Amino acid sequence: MSTVADTVVGAQTTFEPVIGLEVHVQLLTASKIFCSCSTRFGAPPNTNVCPVCLGMPGALPVLNGKAVEFATLAAIALNCRINERSIFARKNYFYPDLPKGYQISQYDKPLAEHGFIELASKKKIGITRVHLEEDAGKSLHEGFPDSEEKTAIDLNRTGVPLIEIVSEPDIATPDEAYEYLTRLKEIILYTGVSDCNMEEGSLRCDANISIRPRGQQELGTKTEIKNVNSFRFIREALIFEIARQIEVVASGGKITQETRLYNSHEGKTYSMRSKEQAHDYRYFPEPDLLPLVVDEKWKTEITETLPELPEARRGRLVKDYSITEYDAQVLTVSKALADQFEAAARAAKNPKRVANLVQGELMGRLKSKGVEIEQSPISMKGVAVSADLVESGAISGKMLKDLYDLCFERKRDFPDVYLEEGSPQQSSDTSALEKIIDEIIAANPKQVEQYRAGKKTVLGFFVGQVMKASKGQANPQLVNELLTTKLG
């Protein structure tokens, strides 16, 4: 007898998921979008407020130019077309943390449209729109001293500028959703318009998901998963939700259009409420704000501040420094790190050597210790210093390896450890080396015989012995020369 689980597994191949993502990103402006209140996170509750963001009758919003610049910059980075003229609208709904009874957003005329994010597979995920809006306040349900069940409202967040980035339903798998979000975050971080801090709510993601028989054009009924606070959980929530929907449909049921919450402890989604439709909000144009105009001149000025974006930078790093795609990926996880790497590579006598050390010595140690590159004890500047020491012959490759190990042991940067170790130099003192070599030759007559009989590979044995005797401080090239002379 086949079980429901069998049906689901079988049905995985006959149904395909259709996923769209809505991402809210908080912009890093100093003040709110329609008033001059501070946007600082962590201030005492209800201290960053004024009549405008509290929604007092008669208070008028004044648009923050910086928020428009940031939103436009992000939209350009996401390959969007900027609408010269966009309109603010009131989205009406009641919620205790929304004092005005409506949120100022953009509806039928958003700031930007028709963008995309390209995945590693070269598949482009369309971006329907990027629009500006204000954030709502925060309801707090826990953490009261008497552990009573009550709700408190903090309106500090009310009126903080957000952009909403809405994707086309082009995403076909939970993995693609994960990659889309990772790339989106990376791009936004590069533009510097948000810190994308998910713990503080600077980046929030909702996912729309439906299934349909493979090959069918028409979309199935979708559910929305809200308030998931990590990309990994989004992926997990989607995996669960796809299986759930397939199970419902495969056993003859119907999907209800609804909002669902993901419980990461159980790995399940739960129905929260039936989903609102756009018409439930009764959007209408905001009468207190003029249409937003981003003209050609302003758009050009903003475009000029666009930094090189991660994808382009990866390509250039691979070309300029002959590093691998993988390393370029790691070195570009943040703009700051990529900047550091390039600064170090350029400051060093031999940029290629910096790249080699990062690839050959740093990455492996980070990986084996499970340390992220941002937490590396050896900074990019430290790598540059060490590269120069090897380049000038002051230290050998072996010494560098030992020093790197010490850096990881002590969790200290290279220049510090180098000083602590007394700035060791590899020995190029010929007479001292000759003494060591003579001793080693005398102690290994059998190997000397082999070498003289033509087995030249034995030279490696002698080099190793000399390096060991000199505690790794001999200059290997000099050792080679001296050994060859003496043995020959």
Nearer Cβ to Zn ion, position 60 or 306?
Answer: 60
Instruction: Provide DSSP, 103-168.
Output: EEEE-SS-SEEEEEEE-TTSPEEEEEEEEEEE---EEE-S--TT-----EEE-TTTT-EEEEEEE-
Shortest reach from residue 399's CB to Zn ion, in Å:
60
Interacting positions 380-399 with Zn ion (CB under 5 A): none
Nearer Cβ to Zn ion, position 48 or 473?
Answer: 48
Nearer Cβ to Zn ion, position 115 or 161?
Answer: 161
What the block records as the tokens of 191 is: 């533009």
DSSP run (H or E) holding 228 = strand 223-228
Distance (Å, whole) CA 399 – CA 473? 7
Nearer Cβ to Zn ion, position 52 or 292?
Answer: 52
Nearer Cβ to Zn ion, position 38 or 379?
Answer: 38
The residue count of the chain comes to 488
Shortest reach from residue 196's CB to Zn ion, in Å:
24
Helices and strands in the chain, H and E counts: 17, 16
Binding string, 313-352, against Zn ion, x = CB under 5 A?
Answer: ----------------------------------------
What the block records as the tokens of 288 is: 């207190």
Specify whether the CB–CB gap between 241 and 206 falls below 8 A: no
Shortest reach from residue 40's CB to Zn ion, in Å:
13
Distance (Å, whole) CA 169 – CA 210? 9
Shortest reach from residue 68's CB to Zn ion, in Å:
18
Distance (Å, whole) CA 380 – CA 337? 8
Specify whether the CB–CB gap between 275 and 223 falls below 8 A: yes
Nearer Cβ to Zn ion, position 35 or 78?
Answer: 35
| 37-45, 169-177, 296-304, 390-398 -> range binding Zn ion (CB under 5 A) | 37-45
Distance (Å, whole) CA 237 – CA 269? 7
Nearer Cβ to Zn ion, position 158 or 473?
Answer: 158
Q: Give which of 385, 318, 400 is closest to 350, Cα–Cα.
A: 385
Q: Give which of 407, 414, 483, 408 is closest to 451, Cα–Cα.
A: 483
| 35-43, 83-91, 263-271, 478-486 -> range binding Zn ion (CB under 5 A) | 35-43
37 binds Zn ion, rule: CB under 5 A? yes
Shortest reach from residue 138's CB to Zn ion, in Å:
15
Place of tokens 């995920």: 125
| 29-37, 131-139, 398-406, 419-427 -> range binding Zn ion (CB under 5 A) | 29-37
Specify whether the CB–CB gap between 92 and 281 falls below 8 A: yes
Interacting positions 274-293 with Zn ion (CB under 5 A): none
Shortest reach from residue 60's CB to Zn ion, in Å:
12
Shortest reach from residue 45's CB to Zn ion, in Å:
14
Nearer Cβ to Zn ion, position 52 or 400?
Answer: 52
Interacting positions 45-104 with Zn ion (CB under 5 A): 50, 52-53
Shortest reach from residue 50's CB to Zn ion, in Å:
3
Shortest reach from residue 32's CB to Zn ion, in Å:
5
Nearer Cβ to Zn ion, position 153 or 239?
Answer: 153
Specify whether the CB–CB gap between 396 and 425 falls below 8 A: no
Q: How many residues bind Zn ion (CB under 5 A)?
A: 5
Shortest reach from residue 260's CB to Zn ion, in Å:
33
Interacting positions 144-183 with Zn ion (CB under 5 A): none
What the block records as the tokens of 466 is: 């000399």
Place of tokens 């998931």: 228
Amino acid at 109: K
Amino acid at 374: E
Binding string, 440-469, against Zn ion, x = CB under 5 A?
Answer: ------------------------------
Amino acid at 299: K
Nearer Cβ to Zn ion, position 37 or 127?
Answer: 37
Q: Give which of 141, 92, 87, 97 is closest to 291, Cα–Cα.
A: 87
Interface contacts to Zn ion, rule CB under 5 A: 35, 37, 50, 52-53
